[in-house]
Chains A and B, each alone.
Chain A
Amino acid sequence: KYKRSPSEIFTCQLCGLSSPFTYYGQKPPNTRAIVLLEECFVTKDPFSPDKEKFLVLGSTCSMCSSCVCVGSDCSLFYTKRFCMQCVNKYLDQFPHQIQAELAKKRQSSKTAVS
């Protein structure tokens, strides 16, 4: 279950973001009371002055098992991880807060493009 390989690369299947990860699982090192609610690809947070901090890169979609990053364009966590494709597919099962939020985002990105 615990995989620790410094040279493995995580790649998001949706946006292509790739980065080496140092840990895969729910209990990254030095996190004590903290537990992840899903199995994640984790690396050390390069933006934190403290080298012990972790950064979750992504995980697998609970529906289609594709590997996705945690970026809001690629996936969403709502008790479980869903890739954006699956979110769209099952959109009506999500609470309306999330639906509204996504609709709003779609709208704003459209206006930004045009």
Chain B
Amino acid sequence: MDSDRRRHSRSWDWDSPECRAQLDDVFFRQHDYIQAGSPEHKEFWTFFDRFQRFKTKRDMTGSGSSRKEEKKDRKQTGHVDLGLPKDYDARYRINVSVCTRDVEERLAKSEHRGRKSSSGPGPQEVSDCRLALLHFLDFNQRQSFGKLAKLRREQKNLPIFQYRDRIVDLVRRHPVVVVAGDTGCGKSTQVPQYLLSAGFKHIACTQPRRIACISLAKRVSFESLNQYGSKVGYQIRFETSRTAATKLLFLTEGLLLRQIQQDRTLAQYEVLIVDEVHERHLHCDFLLGVLRTLLESRPDLRLILMSATINIKLFSDYFNSAPVMQVPGRLFPIQVIYQPIPPEEQASRSEKLDPRPYLRILQAIDQRYPPEERGDLLLFLSGVAEISTIQEACQIYATHTRRWIVLPLHSTLSLAQQDKVFDIAPPGVRKCIISTNIAETSVTIDGVRFVVDSGKVKEMSFDPKAKMQRLQEFWISRASSEQRKGRAGRTGPGVCYRLYAESDYDAFAPYPVPEIHRVALDSLILQMKSMGLGDPLSFVFIDPPPAASIQTAVTYLKEQGALDSHSELTSIGSLLAQLPVDVVIGKMLVLGSLFNLVEPVLTVAAALSVQSPFLRSSQHNPDCATARQPLHSNQGDPFSLLNTFNAWVEVKGERGGGSRKWCRRRGLEEQRLYEMVNLRRQFKDLLRSHSLLESEDSAPSAGDRTQRRDRLTERRKLHQLKRDHEQQEGSRRKVLRLDEGQDGDFSSGSDSEEKGKGKKDKKGPEQDVDIQEVKFKLRHNVSELQDAVNVSQDLSSRQQALLKLLLCRGLYPQLALPDEHNNTRKDSEQVFHTRNKQGVVIHPTSVFASDPEVLHVPEDETREMGPDRRDSSRHQLLAFVTLLETNKPYLSNCVRVPALQALLLVANSVDSNADCTRLVVDGWLEVELREQEEALNVLSTALTLRAEWERLLQAQLGQGSMGVSGVHGVSRKAMEKLSEGLVRFLLYTEVSYSLRRLAAFQTQNLYVGPQSESELFDAKSQGLNPLFPGLEAKPDPIKGGLRVTSFFTYNCLTDSKDLYSECLRTFWTCPNCDLYMPLTPLERMQHEASCRPKGEQHNEDPSDERASSSSSASSLCRVYHCDICNEDLKLTSTEILKHKRQHMYSVK
């Protein structure tokens, strides 16, 4: 009996930690299966308490203590005796034993010898503990095996399980197989496993979404009991779990395409599975086209297309009538109710959605279905505005009835808010999830019984004429409609309310418009070019895009400088094709690598590649707005993002996990900042791998041994935290509160902070581990990051100017001109024009929406030159990242730049009149300068700077592509000098000019057109040295005039006077040589370009520039006398110009 034992056990107390610790020394030593201090160890002692209580209870009731086995005569079955013990003991049912004899002997000895540990465990205690441990081990085995058995049962119950052998057989016999099955048939998780266990190795399975790659890899590796092995892996942009042992890899379609770029035959794979082909994403359509060709050279390759049961024939036909295996989905019956919206409740375009039809359905559900019958409602609307309208109305109803929790779901919500839809409603209450089509395929919510389908979707389309993306509302397709309906039947029979008539349904398009027909094809065409796929127009797509969009893309890429005039890749183009980012972002990175601005450019490029961290819902919260204020920069949104990131890194360095609170207070989604920091790091690696950035010292970053050890210990701890978190992840869902949805979109920063605190109390400290912070610390060295960030903090105005120029050049031709009447308009009515679209507005999230004055030309600095001509030196343009039309065309992520300087430095086409006082840029912006002298100076400076910039850029790129590491194609000196020149030009050009957009009729007869040779050329002009080495001024065959550089055409504008007409000649003294004569502007520029001032290098290190240029340029050198220095110098023409320029600036 218990009391008995206690008497015998001297001072033994099972509840005393000391006593337990003594047993820990026996059973849970450092190398034991379970170690003291581990989570299992803790579990054991909890189990032990339970086990003791159970034993006591059993002993008391006497139920188990009946030691005497009934001496029933055993009828011997046959002659076999199993030799089982006579007396029953639960111990005999455990197939494990624990040997601790060594320790026990030691214990016994020490007790015997010195009686030192008189209070130590006696044999009884050790035996009690051992018994409990055996039961504990057995209990854990049973639990885990139970889970395994359940898993296997579920796998067997999947519809696709019946087709297992047939699928494997088809794959063995055919190069291409189509597996078509609807939601819930299990194809994505099972088919790869079937192929693995059939002996196929090196399987790649593509997914349209990154998140699916990770979750599928986790799921499949879990199902194949290989959770911690590496046979199943994933690889997404910038992140991989792939190892040499990986047999099955989940990856994005885009990534597989990149792999084909490296390895034309994909020799690394034996089987390719392309999943979700019916979704018809751009990359997927393209991938299919590429694979179709690739199969010809890889007859051994197996290709499996997996699709919903939509348009299967299209895929089968595209691959030479590939066999199709159709698998039924697992859907419960769904009742469809058509409830078209009556005309009086239909919203016209401008009006808000009428909530009445939606409320009626909520009411109907409340009336028809008792609250004990569980089942949530999923409501599909077209967009965010519609969601908040209906959410508001439903919330009022929900507050009244207390039977609903209303939750919005769309991609611009914070992740925490998105996550709420997976939480559970309390008994008697239903979730009403109001979602965009994100819940149609991307997000799967269990427990939905009712679906309400508005029949509408907002889809992005690309308008090639306006070069603008457009978000428009459409009727959905029948396929989408079925998909939405299916969401009601995943866990049981369901109901689908369609807010349109059956006749509408019949009139829907059968399938959604494939992406390739809707979007800009720039990246696609660039990739095709770099893969050497020939003319994009003749490529056999499964569903070819319109020729016009291909053409638009080619033109755009030419404007961006990625393709040359023959549509061939330029050196920058081939680099851009390898960077897995948008063309404009890639350009920024490349440009940034040239100057000392890599760190801020990396941040900006990363920031512009992820969703904005500024939560829209917090914008109207005054506290958030105030807290955010110091982060805003009126230079432009990229600068606000840069400030935000820098400030965040600083907070991270100081307070670590405190950054979460910091973000909340400012209405920032911290997840985006984590994405940025990861992306930034990857961009850096990318630039390094293309030799565009010096490699950092690989030597361990400082610190003595103890420091390193500390860091190592910390990392181990972090890894443990991460593992623990992954274990808990998704294990249990929270129960929602009834008022959960109410604060929804309108939650203020301080409110949610309080809520956070409340949660913390409930959960306890361990639950509150900020896993993002843990991952962040594992991935990044905070102090290194701080160093990097310090570089980009408090940029000088000069660096800022240069950074803006880089962004502008990256973003070009995405430029917008403020309307000339903006000064007199209200803040909310500021209008802008792009080349292809007039009357666009700034998105309300942009800094320029709240602070438009900084874009205005200051009144006191303008000179009215006429009714519509205002001269100033302060005109500005906006370079923007996106132009998206929703209800209005909006510009987002804008940066302001000085207009004339930026245009002259980045534009592809600058045309002038004879005296260069009138310039037309890219055929749509007209610049009129007041002073001919100033005009020439500005133009000449710009031409020189651009030539030098181009030269250095090419040198940098050439170096990158040749992969010569260590050798720097661009000397630091040359780079610094160029940036100095650019900054001066940007900041100190004080030239008065007018700037306006040309009206359509003005662009009609812009150019003089081709001229005859005799008209243009005389011996004189040919005798002049070209402005730039290697470029000759040739007559432009289309515009007329003289093409001086690839972007500058002189005297081609129709108002131009005759090139050599005497009236243009003015007397001019060359500041460098003794020349004094009447010259035309062109003659003068040509002279200036060739007559280089000397003495330029006096204040420089002569060994650098001269040594490097002497070999290549000595033939171009000539003796030049500089008046200012009063010295004869032997210089090249470029050097002379630089020399001259130096004097020019120093005089100023």
A→B interface (CB under 8 Å): 9, 17-20, 30-38, 40, 43-53, 55-57, 59, 63, 69-71, 76-82, 89-90, 92-98
Contact = CB atoms under 8 A, between A and B. Distances in A.
Interface string B715-739: 0000000011011000000000000
Contacts of B225: 19-20, 43-44, 46
B658 to A, nearest CB: 28
Contacts of B96: 34-37
A82 B743 CA distance: 60
Given A44-B225, A63-B82, 13 more contacts: A32-B33, A33-B27, A43-B225, A55-B144, A55-B148, A69-B149, A71-B145, A80-B82, A81-B95, A93-B82, A95-B87, A97-B88, A98-B88
A76 B92 CA distance: 11
A85 to B, nearest CB: 13
Q: Sorted from nearest, which 8 A-B pairs have the closest CB atoms?
A: A95-B88, A49-B727, A46-B225, A51-B228, A77-B95, A47-B144, A46-B227, A97-B88
Contacts of A51: 228
A53 B160 CA distance: 32
Given A34-B33, A89-B77, A97-B88, A19 B95 contact: no
Interface string B203-224: 0000000000000000000101
Size range of the chain B interface in the assembly: 35 or more
A82 B84 CA distance: 12
A35 B33 CA distance: 11
19 contacts: A19-B225, A31-B33, A32-B31, A34-B96, A37-B94, A37-B97, A44-B228, A46-B227, A47-B147, A56-B145, A70-B145, A71-B145, A89-B77, A90-B77, A93-B81, A95-B84, A95-B87, A95-B88, A96-B72
Contacts of A78: 84, 92-93
A97 B92 CA distance: 12
A82 B70 CA distance: 22
Contacts of A34: 33, 96-99, 137
B164 to A, nearest CB: 12
Among B70, B75, B143, B227, which residue has the most Cβ atoms of chain A within 10 A?
B227
A98 to B, nearest CB: 7
B350 interface: no
B888 interface: no
Contacts of B148: 17, 19, 46-47, 55, 57
B93 A55 contact: no
A38 B97 CA distance: 10
A90 B92 contact: no
Among B74, B87, B152, B727, which residue has the most Cβ atoms of chain A within 10 A?
B152
A92 B77 contact: yes
Contacts of B94: 37, 77
Contacts of A48: 140, 144
A16 B224 CA distance: 16
B1012 interface: no
Interface in B79-125: 80-82, 84-85, 87-88, 92-100
Contacts of A31: 33
B152 A19 contact: yes
Nearest to A74: B149
B95 A17 contact: no
Contacts of B88: 95-98
B506 interface: no
A80 B92 CA distance: 8
A9 to B, nearest CB: 8
Contacts of B100: 33
Contacts of A50: 38, 40
B84 A79 contact: yes
B344 interface: no
B71 to A, nearest CB: 11
A71 B94 CA distance: 13
Given A56-B141, A70-B141, A32 B32 contact: yes
Given A32-B32, A90-B77, A94-B84, A38 B70 contact: no
Interface in B128-145: 137, 140-141, 143-145
A93 B78 CA distance: 11
A49 B145 contact: no
Interface string B29-43: 001110000111000
Contacts of B268: none
Contacts of B75: 92
A89 B75 CA distance: 12
A33 B27 CA distance: 8
A32 to B, nearest CB: 5
Contact of A40 (B93, B95, B98, B137): B95
Contact of A35 (B77, B81, B99, B723): B99
A90 B85 CA distance: 14
Nearest to B82: A93
Among A70, A79, A94, which residue has the most Cβ atoms of chain B within 10 A?
A79
A98 B70 CA distance: 13
Contacts of A56: 95, 141, 145
B608 to A, nearest CB: 38
Given A94-B84, A95-B88, A98-B88, A36 B77 contact: no
A93 B32 contact: no
Contacts of B27: 33
A20 B232 CA distance: 15
A31 B133 CA distance: 14
Contact of B92 (A35, A40, A63, A79): A79
Nearest to B94: A77
B69 interface: yes
A78 B672 CA distance: 57
Interface in B787-818: none
Contacts of B222: 46
B475 to A, nearest CB: 46
A85 B140 CA distance: 26
Contact of B98 (A33, A38, A95): A33
Contacts of A59: 95
Among B144, B147, B197, B222, which residue has the most Cβ atoms of chain A within 10 A?
B144
A79 B85 contact: yes
Given A20-B225, A32-B31, A34-B96, A90 B80 contact: yes
B1066 interface: no
B626 interface: no
Contacts of A45: 144
B86 to A, nearest CB: 8
B226 interface: yes
A114 to B, nearest CB: 21
B231 to A, nearest CB: 9
Contacts of A43: 225
B511 to A, nearest CB: 40
A43 B225 CA distance: 8
Contacts of A77: 93-95
Contact of B226 (A46, A81, A95): A46
Among A20, A32, A44, A59, which residue has the most Cβ atoms of chain B within 10 A?
A32
Contacts of B92: 78-79
Contacts of B197: 9
A51 B227 CA distance: 9
B827 to A, nearest CB: 56
B99 A33 contact: yes
Nearest to A40: B95
Contacts of A38: 95
Nearest to B73: A92
Contacts of A63: 80, 82
A57 to B, nearest CB: 7
A55 B81 contact: no
Interface in B951-980: none
Contacts of B82: 63, 80, 82, 90, 93-94
A96 B120 CA distance: 39
A33 B100 CA distance: 6
B104 to A, nearest CB: 11
A45 B88 CA distance: 30
Among B69, B96, B724, which residue has the most Cβ atoms of chain A within 10 A?
B96
